[in-house]
Structures are given as structure tokens and as C-alpha cells.
């Protein structure tokens, strides 16, 4: 099979722990931090980062969930999603430091949509971005503040993040070679 593993479960765990440390360092603690996961795999990642932060910093951070389907710019190309997921951010994000969490950073279009969605919900002091994998090929001027692993890829390749909460089994990050 044209598939190779680029992160093991252990590496995923260490990357999450490192991101949790960096979020605390960068922001001088986590008092103002709200973690917002993007559907689907950003949400379990945000929960894991929050758990790691509470272990490191001894304080809990608020977690939210964001669906960006209604902010996408490719409705014409891809058509509507079958499900619109529930956006649920339990705290007022105005004045807070929002850390967006997603599994893979690729073109940057999802993050562009997420930024629009967040600004509709309030005016955060700052928005930062944490991703498990940055695979390059940006189409917009967007970069991540916290990256689990930088992975050079070809456009024809496909990066798949598997998380136990969503996919069952062991965590892993795989690259599939496309036929293109």
C-alpha cells in the first residue's frame, strides 16, 4: 500500500505536551486562554491540549467547538455538508486569547473560515493557531503559532490524522501517496 507513517501514538502524545507547554510560555500563563477546536479532529485535540495544560499549569482552560461549514468559500465546488455541527463556545471570547486547534494545516482556507467565524462571535484580544501537522502548500497568508510536526508533502499526497476518540484504535499520522 502507498502509505507511510509519519507520527506514532507516542509522537502525537509528545507533540501535544509540547504544544501545551508552548501555549503557556507564549502567553505568560493560560489565564486568558480559550482553546477552540475545529470539527472534527480539532475538538479531541483541543481537549487533549487542555488536559495537558491543566497538568502542567495546574489550572483549567475553557474549550469550545467551532464548525466552519457556513464560512467556507467553496460551496460551489463541493456542495453543502450533510451535517452542520454545533458551534459551542461556552465563554465570551471578547478580550480573550483564542487558540484555534486543528489537525492538519494545508491550504489555510479552513483557518480563514475559522477566523471569520470567530470574529462573528466576539473580538478576541489575540487569535493563535495550533496544529498537529503542517504539511505546507498554503494558498493564503496564514501560519501556525504551534506546530506538532512540519511535514513536507507533495500536493498529490494525502495526510490522514487518526485519533482514538474519532477513529478508534491507536493515534497515528499517515501519508498516502496519491495516484496523480
> What span, in angstroms and rounded, lies between the C-alpha atoms of 36 and 29?
17
Question: How many CB atoms are closer than 10 A to CB 2?
Answer: 10
Rounded Cα distance between 44 and 102, Å, is 9
- Is it true that the peptide bond before 39 is cis, omega within 30 degrees of 0? no
Number of residues assigned to the chain: 180
Interacting residue ranges for other proteins, rule: CB under 8 A: 67, 69-72, 75-77, 79-80, 82-88, 116-117, 120-121
Contacts of 112 (CB under 8 A, 6+ apart): 73, 140, 142
- DSSP-derived secondary structure letter, 130: E
For other proteins, the closer of residues 82 and 180 by Cβ is: 82
Give the shortest CB-85-to-other proteins separation in angstroms: 6
Q: Closest separation between CB of residue 165 and other proteins, Å?
A: 19
Q: How far apart are CA 8 and CA 144, in angstroms?
A: 21
- Looking at the Cβ atoms of 84 and 155, the one nearer to other proteins is 84
- Measured from the CB atom, the residue of 73 and 139 that comes closer to other proteins is 73
How near is the Cβ of 103 to other proteins at its closest, in Å? 21
- In the complex, what is the shortest distance from the CB of residue 128 to other proteins, in angstroms, rounded to a whole number? 23
In the complex with other proteins, the residue whose CB is nearer, 84 or 166, is 84
Nearer to other proteins, 72 or 138 (CB): 72
Answer yes or no: are the C-beta atoms of 31 and 57 closer than 8 Å. no
- Could you tell me the smallest distance in angstroms from the CB atom of residue 55 to other proteins? 31
Amino acid at each position: 500500500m502507498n502509505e507511510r507513517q509519519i507520527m506514532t501514538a507516542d509522537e502525537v502524545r509528545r507533540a501535544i505536551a509540547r504544544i501545551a507547554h508552548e501555549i503557556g510560555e507564549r502567553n505568560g500563563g493560560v489565564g486568558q486562554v480559550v482553546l477552540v477546536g475545529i470539527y472534527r479532529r480539532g475538538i479531541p485535540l483541543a481537549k487533549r491540549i487542555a488536559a495537558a495544560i491543566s497538568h502542567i499549569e495546574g489550572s483549567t482552560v475553557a474549550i469550545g467547538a467551532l464548525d466552519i461549514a457556513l464560512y467556507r468559500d467553496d460551496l460551489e465546488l463541493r456542495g453543502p455538508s450533510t451535517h452542520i455541527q454545533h458551534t459551542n463556545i461556552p465563554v465570551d471570547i471578547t478580550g480573550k486569547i483564542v487558540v484555534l486547534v486543528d489537525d492538519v494545516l494545508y491550504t489555510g482556507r479552513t483557518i480563514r473560515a475559522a477566523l471569520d467565524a470567530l470574529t462573528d462571535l466576539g473580538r478576541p484580544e489575540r487569535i493563535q493557531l495550533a496544529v498537529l501537522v503542517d504539511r505546507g502548500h498554503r494558498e493564503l497568508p496564514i501560519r501556525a503559532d504551534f506546530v506538532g510536526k512540519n511535514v513536507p508533502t507533495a500536493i498529490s499526497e494525502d495526510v490522514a490524522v487518526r485519533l482514538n476518540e474519532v477513529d478508534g484504535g491507536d493515534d497515528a499520522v499517515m501519508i498516502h501517496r496519491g495516484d496523480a
